[in-house]
Amino acid sequence: MDKYEEFMALTSQAIGILKDMSKRSPYDMASDGMARKTAKNFTQLADVLFGPTDSPRLQRESVALAEERELSLEYLEMVEKHAKKLQKRGAAWRLRAELIAFEGTFEEVEAYAKKRVMEEGGDKPKQRGVRLGRVVDGLRTISITDTQRRITDLEKTLDAAVENDNDRPRSEALLEPFWDLVKGNGTGLIKPEYRTVIAIGLDDFAKVSCGKGEDVIVALSDGTTMTGAEFINAAMEGSLGDKLYVGLFHPTAGPVNLYEARFASDKLRTLAMAENLVCPWPDCNVPADRCQVHHIDAHKHGGYTKPSNLTMLCKYHNGVNDDDGPRKKRKRPSPGKPKRGRMRRHRGKVRLHTPGGKLVGNTHHVSSMGAMDLI
């Protein structure tokens, strides 16, 4: 058993560890070298699982099941983070029991937990507004929460001012254009003409075209969504441009076309964006509008520039993608460059093929609304 296997074996004993922690003070645990904040979090979780409760039967059954399933500390902390938001008597323990019994990956359980908390009224939707942070090291932070369309229009306006500035971090490059806009030195917000791709299935398009698509939600390659009504309004205002392109996608082969060139044409880029509205690397949220066209099978290894071999990747993940993959065995590993995996097409959809052999997709809500998911 190597150290990783030892670690995983230890994490499966979370209930036993927490039971012993319930007998200790967080200050004693901190004196053993644990961060005081971490020690307090663990003892609070131990108190929930082994202390007095308004639902003793659910507590006993849930703790026994968590031990039987060998759930980790991280898993139990996640369950508690969501369950404690419910204030009605017995509601928190009912949710804990539900999540401890839920079969799925960590991410699937967390997504389900968020949904259940919202249904139970434990989470309030974000409120629109401007928030100003306190001074830290002579700097302050401003945070603006508003509709996705207004914020995205602002983002596109700022991006237009730094289009050719790739040398600085994006957050730094956007700062002066932001203040120019605030001071009135710019031309105001740009009314965006969407080079952005809008993915919509034929059935939904038929509803929208007939004026019956109020409940239709379509996703865009700028990382946002719009309703069917907003889609029609944008078309009527001319925001979608004077041309409409239709992309043809095969359920298992992906985008269909037969072009051969070194660099992707606008048409091929549009097909790739329609398929992946955000970077398809797991947990990435960079919209396709700001991504680069990527050859799934590297061009240097003979990969063709055709729709089924193209996808969109953000600049960072395009750089860390292992183009060589399993097709080329190196005599010596590249020093200082750990393997991160590579993109590949599996059953028509683009997935990350991890070094451990797993195929993982992006779970971003817009990522699941691209062209291949509409077939």
Q: Per-residue pLDDT tens for 79-96? A: 999 999 998 889 999 999
Tokens at 90, concatenated: 């017995």
DSSP state of 278: B
How many CB atoms lie under 10 A from the CB of residue 247?
Answer: 18
pLDDT, position 112? 93
Rounded Cα distance between 110 and 74, Å, is 11
Which residues does the chain have with pLDDT short of 50? 257-263, 327-337
Strand-strand pairing, 198-199 and 142-145: unpaired
pLDDT score for 61: 95
pTM: 0.59
For residue 265, give both structure tokens: 């044409």
pLDDT given at position 203: 73
Spatial separation of the C-alpha atoms in residues 343 and 325, rounded to whole Å: 9
Q: Distance between CA 136 and CA 120 in Å, rounded?
A: 37
> What pLDDT score does 80 carry?
95
Q: Is residue 293 classed as helix, strand or coil in its secondary structure?
A: strand
Neighbouring CB atoms inside 10 A of 202's CB total 10
Contact status, residue 96 vs residue 80, Cβ threshold 8 Å? yes
pLDDT for res 189: 67
Report the SS3 class of residue 24.
Answer: coil
Residues 203, 204, 210, 214, CA torsion sign: positive
* Span 331-341, pLDDT tens digits: 444 444 457 88
**pLDDT of res. 87:** 87
Nearest partner of 344 among 325, 363, 329, 328, judged by Cα: 325
DSSP 89: T
CA distances to 201, 208, 231 from 211, rounded to whole Å, are 15, 5, 11
